[in-house]
Protein backbone atom coordinates (compact mmCIF):
# COMPACT_ATOMS: atom_id res chain seq x y z
CA UNK A 1 0.00 0.00 0.00
CA UNK A 2 1.31 3.46 -0.86
CA UNK A 3 2.01 5.94 1.97
CA UNK A 4 -0.46 8.65 2.85
CA UNK A 5 0.21 12.04 1.19
CA UNK A 6 1.29 14.82 3.56
CA UNK A 7 1.27 17.96 1.40
CA UNK A 8 -0.88 19.91 3.86
CA UNK A 9 -0.66 19.30 7.62
CA UNK A 10 -3.21 21.47 9.43
CA UNK A 11 -2.90 22.16 13.16
CA UNK A 12 -6.29 22.60 14.87
CA UNK A 13 -6.75 23.56 18.55
CA UNK A 14 -8.34 20.55 20.21
CA UNK A 15 -9.93 22.99 22.65
CA UNK A 16 -12.02 24.57 19.86
CA UNK A 17 -15.05 22.33 19.12
CA UNK A 18 -16.12 24.36 16.07
CA UNK A 19 -12.64 24.18 14.53
CA UNK A 20 -12.46 20.43 15.14
CA UNK A 21 -15.90 19.88 13.60
CA UNK A 22 -14.97 21.99 10.56
CA UNK A 23 -11.69 20.12 10.13
CA UNK A 24 -13.56 16.88 9.49
CA UNK A 25 -14.55 18.01 6.00
CA UNK A 26 -11.42 19.89 4.95
CA UNK A 27 -9.30 18.75 2.00
CA UNK A 28 -5.97 18.83 3.82
CA UNK A 29 -3.97 15.60 3.89
CA UNK A 30 -3.43 15.54 7.66
CA UNK A 31 -5.26 17.13 10.61
CA UNK A 32 -3.28 17.52 13.83
CA UNK A 33 -5.42 18.07 16.92
CA UNK A 34 -3.20 20.32 18.97
CA UNK A 35 -2.82 20.01 22.73
CA UNK A 36 0.32 22.14 22.97
CA UNK A 37 0.92 25.69 21.69
CA UNK A 38 -2.67 26.40 20.63
CA UNK A 39 -4.14 25.50 24.04
CA UNK A 40 -3.98 27.66 27.19
CA UNK A 41 -2.74 25.97 30.40
CA UNK A 42 -6.16 26.02 32.06
CA UNK A 43 -7.71 24.31 29.02
CA UNK A 44 -5.19 21.47 28.68
CA UNK A 45 -7.24 18.74 30.35
CA UNK A 46 -10.44 19.60 28.49
CA UNK A 47 -8.52 19.71 25.21
CA UNK A 48 -7.05 16.27 25.92
CA UNK A 49 -10.51 14.82 26.52
CA UNK A 50 -11.81 16.49 23.34
CA UNK A 51 -8.94 15.12 21.25
CA UNK A 52 -9.49 11.59 22.53
CA UNK A 53 -13.21 11.86 21.79
CA UNK A 54 -12.54 13.18 18.27
CA UNK A 55 -10.10 10.36 17.51
CA UNK A 56 -12.61 7.77 18.70
CA UNK A 57 -15.50 9.36 16.80
CA UNK A 58 -13.59 9.57 13.52
CA UNK A 59 -15.35 10.97 10.47
CA UNK A 60 -12.38 13.00 9.24
CA UNK A 61 -11.65 13.25 5.55
CA UNK A 62 -7.94 13.57 6.35
CA UNK A 63 -5.59 11.39 8.37
CA UNK A 64 -5.85 12.48 12.01
CA UNK A 65 -3.09 12.88 14.55
CA UNK A 66 -2.56 14.62 17.89
CA UNK A 67 0.26 16.90 19.00
CA UNK A 68 0.83 16.19 22.67
CA UNK A 69 2.59 18.41 25.17
CA UNK A 70 6.30 17.77 25.64
CA UNK A 71 7.15 14.80 27.82
CA UNK A 72 8.81 16.92 30.50
CA UNK A 73 5.89 19.36 30.76
CA UNK A 74 3.10 19.19 33.34
CA UNK A 75 0.78 17.52 30.84
CA UNK A 76 2.94 15.34 28.57
CA UNK A 77 2.71 12.03 30.42
CA UNK A 78 -1.03 12.40 30.99
CA UNK A 79 -1.51 13.15 27.28
CA UNK A 80 0.39 10.01 26.35
CA UNK A 81 -1.54 7.78 28.77
CA UNK A 82 -4.90 9.08 27.56
CA UNK A 83 -4.04 8.69 23.89
CA UNK A 84 -2.76 5.16 24.43
CA UNK A 85 -6.35 4.27 25.22
CA UNK A 86 -7.71 5.53 21.87
CA UNK A 87 -4.70 4.69 19.65
CA UNK A 88 -4.53 7.59 17.20
CA UNK A 89 -2.86 6.88 13.89
CA UNK A 90 -0.29 9.62 14.49
CA UNK A 91 1.28 11.52 17.40
CA UNK A 92 3.39 14.64 16.93
CA UNK A 93 6.07 15.09 19.60
CA UNK A 94 7.05 18.71 20.27
CA UNK A 95 10.49 19.93 21.33
CA UNK A 96 12.23 16.61 20.79
CA UNK A 97 15.91 16.78 21.77
CA UNK A 98 16.90 13.16 22.41
CA UNK A 99 15.88 9.71 21.24
CA UNK A 100 14.85 8.81 24.79
CA UNK A 101 11.83 11.12 24.47
CA UNK A 102 10.68 9.26 21.38
CA UNK A 103 11.24 5.86 22.96
CA UNK A 104 9.14 6.76 26.00
CA UNK A 105 6.11 7.68 23.92
CA UNK A 106 6.60 4.72 21.59
CA UNK A 107 6.60 2.31 24.55
CA UNK A 108 3.46 3.89 25.97
CA UNK A 109 1.70 3.58 22.62
CA UNK A 110 2.74 -0.03 22.17
CA UNK A 111 4.72 0.76 19.04
CA UNK A 112 1.55 0.92 16.92
CA UNK A 113 1.32 4.67 16.34
CA UNK A 114 3.26 6.74 13.81
CA UNK A 115 5.47 9.31 15.57
CA UNK A 116 6.62 12.64 14.13
CA UNK A 117 9.35 14.62 15.86
CA UNK A 118 9.40 18.42 15.94
CA UNK A 119 12.83 20.06 15.85
CA UNK A 120 12.56 23.30 17.81
CA UNK A 121 15.72 23.85 19.87
CA UNK A 122 19.47 24.26 19.28
CA UNK A 123 20.12 21.00 21.16
CA UNK A 124 17.79 19.16 18.76
CA UNK A 125 19.74 20.52 15.78
CA UNK A 126 22.95 19.01 17.12
CA UNK A 127 21.19 15.70 17.86
CA UNK A 128 19.45 15.35 14.48
CA UNK A 129 21.13 12.06 13.61
CA UNK A 130 20.22 10.50 16.96
CA UNK A 131 16.61 11.67 16.64
CA UNK A 132 16.17 10.70 12.99
CA UNK A 133 17.65 7.23 13.45
CA UNK A 134 15.95 6.38 16.73
CA UNK A 135 14.99 2.71 16.73
CA UNK A 136 11.52 3.55 18.10
CA UNK A 137 11.24 4.75 15.16
CA UNK A 138 9.87 8.06 13.92
CA UNK A 139 8.31 8.69 10.52
CA UNK A 140 8.81 12.43 10.01
CA UNK A 141 10.86 15.43 11.07
CA UNK A 142 9.18 18.83 11.37
CA UNK A 143 11.00 22.10 12.07
CA UNK A 144 9.16 24.29 14.55
CA UNK A 145 10.36 27.47 12.90
CA UNK A 146 8.90 29.94 15.39
CA UNK A 147 10.32 28.24 18.49
CA UNK A 148 13.59 27.56 16.71
CA UNK A 149 14.05 31.18 15.67
CA UNK A 150 13.39 32.39 19.22
CA UNK A 151 15.78 29.84 20.71
CA UNK A 152 18.50 30.83 18.24
CA UNK A 153 17.87 34.55 18.63
CA UNK A 154 17.30 34.70 14.87
CA UNK A 155 15.20 37.31 13.11
CA UNK A 156 13.29 35.65 10.30
CA UNK A 157 12.47 37.59 7.13
CA UNK A 158 10.46 36.44 4.11
CA UNK A 159 13.34 34.27 2.85
CA UNK A 160 14.09 32.63 6.24
CA UNK A 161 17.78 33.29 5.59
CA UNK A 162 19.02 32.76 9.20
CA UNK A 163 17.72 29.17 9.36
CA UNK A 164 18.16 27.98 5.76
CA UNK A 165 21.13 25.80 6.65
CA UNK A 166 19.16 24.14 9.45
CA UNK A 167 16.15 23.52 7.20
CA UNK A 168 18.46 21.76 4.76
CA UNK A 169 19.97 19.69 7.58
CA UNK A 170 16.53 18.60 8.77
CA UNK A 171 15.64 17.41 5.27
CA UNK A 172 18.98 15.60 5.01
CA UNK A 173 18.45 13.87 8.37
CA UNK A 174 14.99 12.78 7.27
CA UNK A 175 16.30 11.36 4.02
CA UNK A 176 19.07 9.36 5.73
CA UNK A 177 16.36 7.53 7.68
CA UNK A 178 13.84 7.43 4.82
CA UNK A 179 11.48 9.68 6.77
CA UNK A 180 9.17 12.47 5.70
CA UNK A 181 10.22 16.09 6.12
CA UNK A 182 7.36 18.52 6.79
CA UNK A 183 8.14 22.24 6.59
CA UNK A 184 7.22 24.65 9.39
CA UNK A 185 4.27 27.03 9.56
CA UNK A 186 3.80 30.35 7.75
CA UNK A 187 2.38 32.88 10.17
CA UNK A 188 0.66 35.44 7.92
CA UNK A 189 -2.78 33.94 7.33
CA UNK A 190 -3.96 36.56 4.84
CA UNK A 191 -0.81 36.64 2.70
CA UNK A 192 -1.37 33.74 0.34
CA UNK A 193 1.25 35.01 -2.11
CA UNK A 194 3.81 34.95 0.66
CA UNK A 195 2.67 31.46 1.61
CA UNK A 196 3.02 30.28 -2.00
CA UNK A 197 6.56 31.67 -2.10
CA UNK A 198 7.51 29.90 1.12
CA UNK A 199 5.89 26.65 -0.05
CA UNK A 200 7.93 26.84 -3.26
CA UNK A 201 11.05 27.38 -1.16
CA UNK A 202 10.19 24.40 1.04
CA UNK A 203 9.56 22.18 -1.97
CA UNK A 204 12.91 23.29 -3.43
CA UNK A 205 14.63 22.26 -0.18
CA UNK A 206 13.02 18.82 -0.52
CA UNK A 207 10.24 19.03 2.06
CA UNK A 208 7.26 16.74 1.42
CA UNK A 209 4.61 19.12 2.75
CA UNK A 210 3.84 22.15 4.87
CA UNK A 211 2.56 22.68 8.40
CA UNK A 212 -0.48 24.99 8.33
CA UNK A 213 -2.35 27.09 10.88
CA UNK A 214 -5.50 28.01 8.94
CA UNK A 215 -7.82 26.26 6.44
CA UNK A 216 -7.29 29.08 3.92
CA UNK A 217 -3.71 27.83 3.47
CA UNK A 218 -4.63 24.29 2.39
CA UNK A 219 -5.09 24.75 -1.35
CA UNK A 220 -1.81 26.63 -1.69
CA UNK A 221 0.14 23.88 0.07
CA UNK A 222 -1.61 21.12 -1.84
CA UNK A 223 -0.70 22.73 -5.15
CA UNK A 224 2.91 23.43 -4.17
CA UNK A 225 3.74 19.93 -2.92
CA UNK A 226 1.86 17.86 -5.50
CA UNK A 227 4.04 16.49 -8.33
CA UNK A 228 3.04 18.21 -11.57
CA UNK A 229 2.16 16.24 -14.69
CA UNK A 230 5.44 17.01 -16.47
CA UNK A 231 7.51 15.89 -13.49
CA UNK A 232 5.52 12.66 -13.17
CA UNK A 233 5.92 11.92 -16.89
CA UNK A 234 9.67 12.54 -16.72
CA UNK A 235 9.99 10.32 -13.64
CA UNK A 236 8.25 7.50 -15.49
CA UNK A 237 10.68 7.96 -18.39
CA UNK A 238 13.62 7.60 -16.02
CA UNK A 239 12.24 4.46 -14.37
CA UNK A 240 11.44 2.89 -17.76
CA UNK A 241 14.88 3.75 -19.12
CA UNK A 242 16.67 2.04 -16.25
CA UNK A 243 14.28 -0.92 -16.41
CA UNK A 244 15.57 -1.84 -19.87
CA UNK A 245 17.75 -4.97 -19.93
CA UNK A 246 20.40 -2.95 -21.77
CA UNK A 247 20.60 -0.49 -18.87
CA UNK A 248 20.99 -3.06 -16.08
CA UNK A 249 24.74 -2.53 -15.72
CA UNK A 250 24.77 1.16 -16.64
CA UNK A 251 25.21 4.05 -14.25
CA UNK A 252 24.03 6.59 -16.80
CA UNK A 253 21.41 6.50 -19.57
CA UNK A 254 20.40 9.01 -22.20
CA UNK A 255 16.83 10.36 -22.30
CA UNK A 256 16.30 12.68 -25.25
CA UNK A 257 19.22 15.15 -25.07
CA UNK A 258 20.03 14.61 -21.39
CA UNK A 259 22.22 12.16 -19.51
CA UNK A 260 20.48 10.74 -16.43
CA UNK A 261 22.33 9.04 -13.55
CA UNK A 262 21.11 6.31 -11.21
CA UNK A 263 20.82 8.83 -8.39
CA UNK A 264 18.03 10.41 -10.47
CA UNK A 265 16.35 6.99 -10.57
CA UNK A 266 15.89 7.01 -6.79
CA UNK A 267 14.57 10.56 -6.95
CA UNK A 268 12.13 9.51 -9.69
CA UNK A 269 10.89 6.54 -7.67
CA UNK A 270 10.27 8.79 -4.67
CA UNK A 271 8.30 11.27 -6.77
CA UNK A 272 6.19 8.48 -8.27
CA UNK A 273 5.51 7.04 -4.81
CA UNK A 274 4.27 10.46 -3.72
CA UNK A 275 2.11 10.74 -6.82
CA UNK A 276 0.67 7.25 -6.36
CA UNK A 277 -0.12 8.00 -2.71
CA UNK A 278 -2.05 11.09 -3.74
CA UNK A 279 -3.97 9.23 -6.45
CA UNK A 280 -4.85 6.43 -4.03
CA UNK A 281 -6.01 8.89 -1.36
CA UNK A 282 -8.17 10.76 -3.87
CA UNK A 283 -9.73 7.51 -5.07
CA UNK A 284 -10.95 6.81 -1.53
CA UNK A 285 -12.77 10.15 -1.22
Give the residue numbers of the binding site for Mg(2+).
Answer: 120, 147
Q: Residues 241, 253: contact at Cβ < 8 Å?
A: yes
Q: Residues 104, 84: contact at Cβ < 8 Å?
A: no
Residue list, annotated binding site for substrate = 67, 120
Distances (CA, A) of 107 to 35, 68, 78, 103, 110: 20, 15, 14, 6, 5
178 bridge partner residues: none
How does 199-236 read in b/e, with b if 16+ C-beta sit within 10 Å?
Answer: bebbbebbbbbbbbbbbebbebbbebbbbeeeebebbe
Local structure of 83: helix, strand or coil: helix
Local structure of 141: helix, strand or coil: strand
Q: Dihedral sign for Cα 220, 5, 208, 102, please.
A: positive
Residue list, annotated binding site = 67, 120, 147
Amino acid sequence: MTPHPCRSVLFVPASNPRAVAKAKGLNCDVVILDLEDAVAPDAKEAARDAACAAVQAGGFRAMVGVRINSHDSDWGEADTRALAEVEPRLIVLPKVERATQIKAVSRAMGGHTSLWAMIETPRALFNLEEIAQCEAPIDALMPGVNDLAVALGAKLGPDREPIKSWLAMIVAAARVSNNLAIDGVYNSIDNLDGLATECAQGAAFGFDGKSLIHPSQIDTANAAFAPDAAAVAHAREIVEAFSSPDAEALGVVRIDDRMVERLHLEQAKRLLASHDALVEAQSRE
